[in-house]
A and B are shown apart, each in its own frame.
Chain A
Amino acid sequence: NAGVTQTPKFRVLKTGQSMTLLCAQDMNHEYMYWYRQDPGMGLRLIHYSVGEGTTAKGEVPDGYNVSRLKKQNFLLGLESAAPSQTSVYFCASSYSDYGSSYEQYFGPGTRLTVT
């Protein structure tokens, strides 16, 4: 049982390049989330999904797109990377939604630098 895994662990992009971050979970969770963590700030929600084939915007969605084609995978895409997207990205999953007391399980993170 690997929990939540993220690929890649590190990446350096040049401004304007694109990339996709992959998140996978093996806990059969319905809900999946993408966060970014910046120095001096709390985690901020980028996008989330309440089930296979669904996506929704979070607090800071601009410049990102997501897809949830399979229940176990949640992809985060950057179409044209900008230096402001330099951050550590965390994926998380949970059995149920914000209104419940179910835990969110986090992945190990992807450290992205955009030059």
Chain B
Amino acid sequence: KNQVEQSPQSLIILEGKNCTLQCNYTVSPFSNLRWYKQDTGRGPVSLTIMTFSENTKSNGRYTATLDADTKQSSLHITASQLSDSASYICVANQAGTALIFGKGTTLSVSS
């Protein structure tokens, strides 16, 4: 079954700290892996898109990694800010067929 699992389900960190969110996927055939940020009451916004040949990609303080062999991805947030409080969604692209969405990790950054 094609699916994307994210952990943890929720996370609370202090402002300025780093954190890492995890994503495991079982999608075949696999094309690319995406991370989205969704603020409360808003639509998802793309952070990164990585093909199976890419190991890492950065977008400001966000760095995504991909291990296509183990079918794992992570999103690392550096020096967190209050505005990073959101849901982070991992999405695996089943090549030519569909996007498989994870349930998301809810991150709360407190001061």
Residues of A within 8 A of B (CB): 4, 40-45, 58-59, 90, 92, 97-99, 101, 103-109
Query: Complex: how many Å from CA A41 to CA B94?
Result: 18
Contacting chain A: which of B14-22, B65-73, B78-86, B95-103? Answer: B95-103
Q: Is the CB of B43 within 8 A of A108?
A: yes
Interface class of chain B by DSSP:
strand
The bracket for how many chain B residues form the interface is: 20 to 34
Query: Complex: how many Å from CA A101 to CA B45?
Result: 15
Chain A residue at minimal CB-CB distance from B94: A98
Query: Complex: how many Å from CA A43 to CA B46?
Result: 14
Total A-B pairs in contact (CB under 8 Å)?
53
Extra inter-chain contacts (12) besides given A58-B98, A97-B96, CB under 8 Å: A42-B4, A43-B89, A45-B98, A98-B93, A98-B96, A99-B93, A99-B96, A101-B31, A101-B32, A103-B49, A108-B43, A109-B41
Q: Is the CB of A98 within 8 A of B101?
A: no
Whether, in the assembled complex, B58 has its beta carbon less than 8 Å from a beta carbon of chain A, the answer is no
Pick the residue among B43, B49, B95, B102 that contacts A98 (CB under 8 A). Answer: B95
